[in-house]
Amino acid sequence: MFDPDKAPEFNENEVREHINLLASIQAKKCLPTFCDQETRLYEYYKDYICGSKSNEEILNWWEENGKKFAVKTTDKEDTGIWGIGPVHFLHIPFSNICEHHWLPYFGEIHIAYLPMEYSQRFMGLSKMSRLLDEICKGTSLQETLTARISKIVPQCLGMDALAVIVEAKHTCMMCRGINKEIPIVTTGFWARTNADTALEVMNSLEKKLSYAKN
């Protein structure tokens, strides 16, 4: 299981052994499409599955790219804004690899956050998407991924409360096992300065999703 607090190691020998096993199975079928498949699998494992970053590495990546992914700041004195409601990001697509069967699951991430009152710092949609792309690399359970998002995002921006809802379909249920098109699996987590604020933000996110689906 991937430990987010430790930097992952890319073991080339283990990856090659896995690829050779898959190659031996495919070779028996004599498929013409097998040409260069070993190279493509190797690059896939290296870049996507073995490209996971620890929490610390993602925070360092964000710090190094601070200017490129700069957040927007609202000056209270210029705008007269002394309070603001939750900011919502809906339907951000993602994909990940489930740790159980190494098959993908995919869907959408929905986020709502309450900016810190004293700073009024905001994050653009493209910046949030880039950050989520980094978090979603590698293998993880959906519950673990949701909790990880709720832990990392507030550290990158600074906020009074954050709510995260992840909706996904799992191919490990669609392509094996019961072989059925299963309902979307939904997980939710929040980070907060106090429980009342977190509940308010989560409720606002659920209402936005309800309106969007109706």
pLDDT for 201: 86
Report yes or no: 110 and 89 within 8 Å, Cβ to Cβ. Answer: yes
52-59-5-142 Cα dihedral, nearest 10 degrees: -60
**Strand pairing category for 72-73 and 121-122:** antiparallel
pLDDT at 157 over 60: yes
| pTM tops 0.95 | no
Find the mean pLDDT for residues 133-143.
89
pLDDT for 63: 85
Find the mean pLDDT for residues 93-103.
86
Find the mean pLDDT for residues 187-208.
79
Q: Which of the pair, 151 or 117, is modelled with greater confidence?
A: 151
Residue 111 has a CB neighbour count (10 Å cut-off) of 23
Find the mean pLDDT for residues 137-145.
89
Q: Where are the domains of the chain?
A: 1-51, 72-213
Radius of gyration of the chain (CA): 20
pLDDT for 14: 67
Most confident of 134-143, 152-161, 183-192: 134-143
Find the mean pLDDT for residues 117-139.
82
3-state secondary structure of 184: coil
pLDDT for 27: 59
Q: Cα separation of 20 and 103, whole Å?
A: 18
Q: Which CATH number fits domain 72-213: 3.40.50.10800, 3.40.1160.10, 3.40.50.2300, 3.30.1130.10?
A: 3.30.1130.10
104-110-112-113 Cα dihedral, nearest 10 degrees: 20
DSSP assignment of 18-55: HHHHHHHHHHTTT-GGGTTHHHHHHHHIIIIITT---H
pLDDT for 92: 95
Find the mean pLDDT for residues 182-210.
79
